[in-house]
Amino acid sequence: MSRMFNPKVFQLGYVGLGCTDLGRSAQYYMETLGLTETAKGHLGEIYASVGYEHHNVILTKAAHKSLLQLGFQLKPAIDLADFAKQLNAYGVRSAVKSDSQPGISKLIEVEIADGHTVQFYRDIEAPAPGFKNVGVAPLRLGHVAVISPQAAKLRKFYEEFLGFWYTDEFEGIATFLTCNRDHHVINIVDIPESRVHHIAFQLKDSVSHPNACDELRRAGIKTEWGPSRHTAGHNLAGYHYDPDKVLIELYTEMDVFIPELGMCEARPWHEHFPMKPRAWKLTELNAWGTDFAFNLGQG
């Protein structure tokens, strides 16, 4: 019987990146990836939407490339004040911020581990700027993979406090967790470094993969790995770098997790039936056997 927590959040809403050259990053995220700028903040930071919500990416000028924040949207039934009390009871310090960013009137900020700041909010404006007809133009922000020397602490918070489900791992080094039907919403990598490993956007369909690669090529961006099929999550995934060498994943066909059954919906390409959470070997990153260097340990 799988543990039946009830996650307090239901999606990764946004990722905040510190960018060394804001103009260059804005050009990549708006023109090549195909997001739409919705606002500029007090500090000149840029808010960008995939197509519906006020923002899914925040770009802030910084001395070094960095992951500044992750935004998770709380389930509508959760009251922000109650959530803050629960954090306090769990022993985590939080700060309530009002009007700290456009589109979100109130959020709760927590530094779960060094360099891992998470913002929780219930409501975000949805100006629906629309999906671009140019650039990669993904469907949505799907997940993030973070590398942390405090991976165990992060995992405990996500599983124990937020109620994420464990869905897979690679030899205890990379752990996949979800708060919805996607196989993973966060992937926590246990290596003594602190950085974002990759940010993943879902494409419209699998035919969009070559189109995205062509779009990247037109912008002079090389596709580093894939598109090819993973094992854990079974997503068809291609990877390239943003201007600060933050790895960006474009994916489709991710496994659909059924928390009630503790398994993923069966697919013809699965290696195991039922497809339950398991410990994969690091040599099993790729289902097709295509070469898949995954630059763990390279900043």
Binding site for Fe ion (CB under 5 A): 200, 249
Q: Closest CB to Fe ion among 27 and 295?
A: 295
Q: How far is the CB of 200 from Fe ion (least distance, A)?
A: 4
Choice between 108 and 189, CB closer to Fe ion: 189
The C-alpha atoms of residue 120 and residue 40 are separated, in whole angstroms, by: 21
- Residue at shortest CB range from Fe ion: 200
> With respect to Fe ion, which residue has the nearer C-beta, 102 or 277?
277
Closest to Fe ion by CB, 53 or 249: 249
Give me the least distance between CB of 195 and Fe ion, in Å please. 15
Least CB distance to Fe ion at residue 249 (A):
5
Nearest approach, Cβ of residue 224 and Fe ion (Å):
13
DSSP codes joined into one string, the chain: -------SEEEEEEEEEEESSHHHHHHIIIIIS--EEEEE-TTS-EEEESSSSS-SEEEEE-SS-EEEEEEEEEPTT--HHHHHHHHHHHT--EEEEEEEETTEEEEEEEEEETTEEEEEES----------SSS---SEEEEEEEEETTHHHHHHIIIIIS-PEEEEEETTTEEEEESSSBS-SEEEEESS--EEEEEEEE-SSTTHHHHHHHHHHHTT--EEEEEEEBSTT--EEEEEE-TT--EEEEEE---BEETTTTEEPP-TT-SSSSB---EE-GGGSBTT-------TT--
Q: What are phi and psi of 84, to 5 degrees?
A: -60, -40
Between 71 and 103, CB nearer to Fe ion? 71
Closest approach of Cβ 69 to Fe ion, in Å? 19
In the complex, minimum distance from the CB of residue 2 to Fe ion, in angstroms, rounded to a whole number = 22
Residue 45 or residue 249: which is nearer to Fe ion going by CB?
Answer: 249
* Cβ contacts of 5 within 8 Å, gap of 6 or more: 159, 163, 164, 165
The distance of closest approach from Cβ of residue 233 to Fe ion in the complex, given in angstroms and rounded to an integer, is 7
Nearer to Fe ion, 122 or 230 (CB): 230
